[in-house]
Every structure is written in C-alpha cells, then in structure tokens.
Structure 1
Amino acid sequence: MKKLLILGAGTAGTIVANKMIRKLPARDWSIQIVDQDPLHYYQPGFLFMPFGVYGEKDVVKPKSRFLSKRVDLVMGAIDRIEPDSKRVLLEDGTKLDYDLLVVATGTTPRPEETEGMEGDDWGRNVHEFYTFEGAGKLARRLKDWQGGRLVINVAEMPIKCPVAPLEFAFLADWWLTKNGLRDKTEIQYVTPLSGAFTKPVATERLQHMLSDRRIHVETDFAIGSVDNSKKQIVSWDERTVDYDLLVTVPTNMGSDAIERSGLGDELNFVPTNKETLQADGYENIFVIGDATDVPASKAGSVAHFEAEILEENLLSAAAGKELEAKFDGHSNCFVETGYGKGMLIDFNYETEPLPGTFPFAKLGPMPLLEESRVNHWGKLMFRHVYWNALLKGWPLGIGPAMSLKGKRTDLIRQPAVVQVG
C-alpha cells in the first residue's frame, strides 16, 4: 500500500488530509499526518484576545476532533526529511516512509532573531500576539494600561496574515476609545514597508484610515535591536522610536526541521512552484500554506485555496499524470477596523485589492476596500465556518481562482510599455 504523509496538522495539513481521505482509494493509499501539539488553535482569534473579544474556548480545540478517523495521526516532533530515502525522521527516532509528501509545517514568530527583543522588557512591556501564550499575556498587560506611547512594529516581511498588525492598530484605537484611554495614548505603527500595506490601492485607503484615527505611520523602518533600558526600538540606520508598550510582530520563520533537511531558504521556507505547489527539485514533495515561499499571503484563506489546487495535483501525481491545476495566488482577507466595522480585500499574484463588491457583482453583499458592518460580521462568523466546514475540507462556495466580477477593473495598474529603438 502506498502512503501520503503530511507534516503538520494545522489549518493547511488538516484540510489536505480530510480532502484526500475522500479522494484517494482506500485499498491503495493510506494517509498519515504528523504533529507534536495535540491542540488546534484558531489563529485569527489571537488578534481578538488582547481586547477581550475572544477567550480560550473560542480559539482552542483538540486536533483529533477535526481529522477523519481514517487518517492516522502521529504525535511527535519532526527531526528532518530525507528526500533521497523518501522518509521522515522524528525526534524520538521513529522513521516514517512516504510515496507522496505534503509539507505543511507552518511558520512561527522568532523574537530571538532581533537583538534585545527577548531582553528584560520581554513579557512586561514588549509583547506579541501571534501565539496563544503571547496573546494571553498581552491581554493581561492591557488590563493595567493607563496611557502612554503604544508602538506596533513589524520586524520584517513576510509574516503570517500581513493585515493583522494593521487590524491590531485599528482595534487598539477602538478599545482605548471605549475605555476612555484614547486621548491618553499615542499610537504609532512602525513598518519596514514604504507604506501601510504591500499593494498600492489598498495602501492608499488604509493609510487614510490610520490618519483619520490619529495613528502615526513610520515607514521604511528596518528594526535592528530593542533597547530595553531606554525603551526604544532602533533601526539599522540608527533611527529610534520610543515606547511604553511595544506590540511587536517578530521575524517569522519556517520550521527548524526544514533547515535540518536542507530544503529551506534563509527563513526556512521551502522553495515551491507557485502554481503547482510542488517543491522545487522534488517530484513527490508538495508544500502548502505558511511553509511555502510562494509570493502569496501567509493566511488561512490562501491555505484553503491552495488545498483545492493541491487536491487535484496530488491525485495527478498519484496516478503518474502531469500536474495541470494552477494556483493563482488568491487571497481573501477580512480586515477588522474597530467600532463594529470591517473591510474585505480580495487579490492574487497579478491583481491587487480593488474596490467593488463580493462575491457577486451587483448583490454583494460585502463591499471591497470599504468599511461596513457586514464585513465585521463576516469576520466574526468565519470562526464558525472554520471549525465546522473549512477544516473538514468541505467546499465553501468560493473557488480557488480569483474572480474579477464586481471589481473596479479600471483601477488595475498596467505595466509600463518600454519602446526599443
């Protein structure tokens, strides 16, 4: 019997396992998935925890609850992949063979990559919200907040969910206003990018929103260190920003097992064909979600859309056929903006977020690049969809390819034409 082995039982790995167990013939294929943590975290919920919107019961459930009983869940830490031998070694010495391998090992924040970030102020006045533990500690810190300078800093790109730091800034403005602390708090958003976001049309809109909320944006700031004694972040070009509370998004990196396997780039992300999701140089290894180096957002929606492409290509690979399904980089993200409103952005490799309506051209009901209450409720309702449909690999009614229906296509920026001669 042949084996499909999946490394990582997070969002991406769980979706793939549940999809493939329904598609690969049970008489010919078995499916095994490996993870070291028995708990599954709804990571979009971490954003809401510091502000008391979500608690532990909203974001944590057992992994086993969301995997088909026909999927063999192996609990253990991955040591390395040995592609030439077609096997994976676990840290306890277990050896797992495979015929097809899916790498879904994700990404994690690495505060140790920035000098001084894990210094004396770490966990006191320097916090992150990209982990369950970090979001909980930040929630406790905000309960004691009486005002001062709140700095939100992104260390470097790429990061998981690129809009999350912006959402934190918007929610902080809302939460501080609600608690009578906004006029006592200066909010500064410090980013290595040249604008608030990576896409021009969306950046223009988001920067206006930040300005309207009196959130100062410091751009092109490449953090080099954190000075705990002076309560400053210091850039490589020696610019400084003072903080009373620093909410950082540390450098994000892929699994150390990828580095030990010799499969990753300098950030431990696996070089991957951005269309087929096949690992570069390996016909029987595929990569999905945050573990890839593809130029798409590291977000749950991307993992969901990738899984539909990967499903087709895994079936093709299992049958010895050419890989025909192509991923276009589709990403669909709600942006919580506070005060009971939210935005929605929809884009892919080639087309940036544009104004319009989603998912239908005339009926919407969700406006794109515009604040609305329906987008806010869409963001909150997604948690139910995530636990009850998305993880189980069921179709959600939105295909993996981005549609231009309802979008202001007249705003698509055309590449400059260079005339020769």
Structure 2
Amino acid sequence: MDSLLNVKGQSELFGCSKNTGEVMNHSYLPKHVASLQTSFFKRSLRYSSSRANARRHLISEGRNTEPKDSPLPKLPQRSPWYLDTAYSIFAKRPTRPFPPPFVSYPSGSFSDPLTTHNRPRLRQAEVDGQLLRGITNGDDAIIIDGQNFLAVNDGVGAWAQKERGHAALWSRLIAHYWAAEAEKAFRNPEKAESDGRTPSLDELDTVKYLENAFSRTKDVTNFGKENEIMGTTTASSALLHHKSPDEPVVLATSLGDCAIMVIRPRNESMIYKSKEDWHWFDCPRQLGTNSPDTPTKNSFMDRVDVEEGDIVLCLSDGVTDNLWEEEITEWIGHAMKKWKANEKEAEDGIVYVARTIMNAAREIALDPYAGSPYMSRAVDEGLAAEGGKLDDISVVLGMVKRHKT
C-alpha cells in the first residue's frame, strides 16, 4: 500500500490506496479477464536475471523471527499441537530507520537491509526497554511467536510522505503487542483448564488482543499533537489451539486485505481463506491515524478446524495481488511434493515451501506483462492496468504438527 487517499471531501483522512501507479504498466484491457487465471505451470519467467539479482539483497527467509540471543522468556508448550514454521519476504525498497525515540541496532550485513531493523528497542520507561518482536519488511511486519502464533501486518507506505509518518513502525508495534497479548493469555494461571495445562479455546479472544495492541501502539506513538508518529496498517494473525487433544483449531483474525489461508496438501485444496475488507477499491480497512476502523468493529475472527499436515499461511497483499488462490494452492502442492521427494532444492523443507510462494509472487510482481488478480480488479473498476503489482511480499506459514508423547 503506497499512496495517500486523494478524493475530494476525503483527502488525507488516512493513508489508503495501494496506488495503481505501482502496477508495472498501463494499457487498455477488455472487461473479460477470465483467461488471465492461468495455471502456474503456464507462467513464464519474463523478467531479466539482472533485474532479479538487483533486488536479491531485499530477500530474507528463515524458520522464526526471534534472534538467537533474544531475552524474551520462552513460553512453556501447553498444547499437543504446534506449527513447524517458516517465512520468506521481499521488500520493494529498503526499510526506513525508525524515528526517535525508537532506536535501531546496526545491521549485521551491509548487503541485507532487512536485518537493520529486526531489533529496534523501545526506550520509553513504560515498556521497560523491551525488544520489539518480529521483523520489518519494507512497510510490512511479520512475526512467528513461539510455536503457535503467526502474524503479518501491512503498513500504508504513503505515510512516508508525511514529516512524522512511519507506517512500518505502526505495523511492527501492533504485531509486537498483539503477540505479547496472545502470549499473556497462555501465561494466565487463572484461565487454566482443570488439567492445568492451557486456557480453553472459548477463553481466547484474538480480537480483544488486537484491540489492546492497537491501544498500546497509539499510546507509545503519541508525544503530543506536534510530535505524534503517524501511520496505518492492516493486520492478520493465526493462533493454533485445540478444542480437545485430538482436535486442533486455528483462530484466524484479520482486518483489511492481508490474507489467512489454510491449505490441505494431501488433496491440494484450500479449506479456508479469510475475508478481505475494503472501504473501496484499493483502500482496505486499516488501523491507525485518522482511520475510523477499530478491531472491535471491523475485524473478523474465524475458528478453522485443521488436521495434522495442514499448512497455515499469513500473507500480505503483495502475494494475493499477484497470485490467484488456485495458484497459491498449486504452488504449495508443488513444493510439498519436491520436499517429500527429498529433492536437493527443497532440502530446507518448510522454508522451501515459504520461498516457493514468495518467488512465485515476486515473479509476477516484476513482470510488466503478466496477468494478476490486482490487474483483474483494476480492470473491473474501469482502470487501465497491466502487469504485476510491485509491493512488499510477506509469506509466513506453519505446518500443523502433533508433539510426540
């Protein structure tokens, strides 16, 4: 998401549009675009290797988002189920440094700007110098917190045009506090079941956790009217829990147009996709400065019954604007087959699955001639658009697994 809203009577109320200018090319297209929904096998590489190499330093991946030396206490495992996790991310431009009073540690690598802002520290006394969880990816923020919580938030990059605007900070702070609120629920001994192991499914309220995270973010970014740090962000998370020891459940929570999906590889089917919600085309619901949206009023939480082997994904719109749902499902199946066949390129397992989705979305995003879901929606709105949608691409996923007893 890139440009501020610029509509008469609504101008600059809050950061909004994802900017049709980010589409790689513009031209007249007919209304009928069904033929664009081709299988991923028919997608061809049209971007040059030099262009791909030029952006390679904006790619990062791994199995979790916490540094090895993180001082965060580890949450005891209270569930028979967990997520085998991975992420793969691509930033369309390097992340800007966080503004004062937030501080960023120096990067461990001059060639990897994404690492520069993985470990900013809040310096306000009220948060006791707590390290921010997760990773910043352009204006996105991603989190893998423990073995049961995934999140992707997509900040509205147009806030960079404002003197005190910083959407990446907003997306990161809300992700940080959201994960902390979820963890707090599992640490509360007053909400334990009779077996003393874990809170019940009915006691978990991820919308409330998001509301608390939103409130906390507003507090720490407000230094008075002249010094407020402004921004807005969409939000999505997946929390794995269970109804009974044999019945795992995912609590999928979203506000805006980030996507939560559950793919069942054994029959290559998508069993769940979260609802996307916009004010109007290219203007999703979002949390932050001047936005009328709130988690309580505008977010969705669904309970999704899952089984061992299912893949749970949190995706920024950099993925869903460039890949149709059917393609995401096919790419997951394609990657899983290579992994199970022990092919060399898939030797890093679940990370390879995440990388496959990211690369597929990045290929289309950089292709000025490809058909894409964003292009299809733009044409339906009467806009001339062609090619992929260049944006930050964030893929966070986990495979549902059962702890061995």
TM-score normalised by L of structure 1: 0.25
The structure showing larger relative contact order (alpha-carbon pairs under 8 Å, at least 6 residues apart) is 2
- Structure of larger gyration radius: 1
TM-score normalised by L of structure 2: 0.26
